[in-house]
Amino acid sequence: MGNYRNGLPSKADWKDPEFISYAQELHLVNAQSGIRNRLDWQKVMVLKVLNEKGLINPGSMILNIAGGTDVINYYLASRINKLITIDLYDNSWESCPEDMVTNPWKYAPFDYKRENLIAMRMDARNLLFERDTFDAVLIIDSLNYMGDFEQVVSIISDVHRVLKKGGILILTVEFTFEPVPSGELYFTNESLMDFLSRIPFLLEHNPILDAREFAHEDRANPVLPPRTIKHPTAIRARTIGVRPGLLKRKFPYFRILRPRLFPLLLVLLSDK
């Protein structure tokens, strides 16, 4: 597959020897089996970037925002100086347990260097770190759910503050070629360009984000499961003003309330 690139998944990624090797090291069963899982792709691509930037080394300081109990925390803790993962850690969902702060080893999928991993209860909107602390910051599959557009821009600006000169921000975000419903923060070509123009980072490589090119390269539906949500007919019927009974016989669930989403990898360079 060659060097990493900003952009969307390709079916060829799952056949790449380096991709498979990382999947094995992370114990990602789906990826090892050739099952194209969206989150597995994001984790492996993040590691590829860190490796190609020379940041998986004993001197690196890396921050994982909204890191939960992610396997990447444990993988990097054994290979760098310090991995700090922050999240709400309030038991609000399975991957955000309260005791992660005191007992991160409890959720480790394999042995790791315990002294190199610190889990902290912290809101991404208020990073309590000194300036120029980290060599890299990771935000994997979570930026779209951290607030509205203005809040997300503010978060990324604060990330810039805690990065060292020459540091990198690795993002994976939800991207769509379709219209975005009001109130949802999913990136389109237009909103992505607006976002990039308002943050103090430089995009290293321009991603290919053309729907026709995407389809031409046989990338349609490259990642399973799709990020769509099933809604009972009654809910959808009320939304469009149709009696539920008219739809329920053939369509017990709808999957059309959200656009089809793809994970987009972005590697951003600090402009310090």
What local confidence, expressed as pLDDT, does residue 132 receive? 97
pLDDT in tens, 216-238: 444 444 454 444 444 443 333 33
Burial 87-99 (b: 16+ CB within 10 A, else e): bebeeeeeebbee
Task: Report d(CA 158, CA 191) in Å as an integer.
Answer: 20
pLDDT in tens, 141-172: 999 989 999 999 999 999 999 999 999 999 99
What local confidence, expressed as pLDDT, does residue 150 receive? 94
Roughly what angle, to the nearest 10 degrees, separates helices 17-25 and 38-52? Answer: 100
For the four alpha carbons of 82, 101, 44 and 32, in that order, the dihedral sign comes to: positive
Do the Cβ atoms of 26 and 71 come closer than 8 Å? yes
Positions in the chain whose pLDDT score sits under 50: 1-2, 216-222, 224-256
What local confidence, expressed as pLDDT, does residue 85 receive? 98
* Closest listed residue to residue 13, CA positions, set 33, 38, 41: 41
Q: Residue 252's beta-bridge partner residues?
A: none
Task: Report d(CA 45, CA 191) in Å as an integer.
Answer: 23
Show the beta-strand stretches assigned E in the chain.
61-65, 82-87, 117-121, 134-140, 163-175, 201-203, 231-232, 253-254, 262-270
What local confidence, expressed as pLDDT, does residue 136 receive? 98
Six-digit token string for 53:
């930037």
Question: What's the whole-model pTM score?
Answer: 0.84
Instruction: Using CA atoms of 190, 197, 39, 56 in order, give the dihedral in degrees to the nearest 10.
Output: 160
Nearest-5° angle of CA 124, CA 9, CA 211? 105
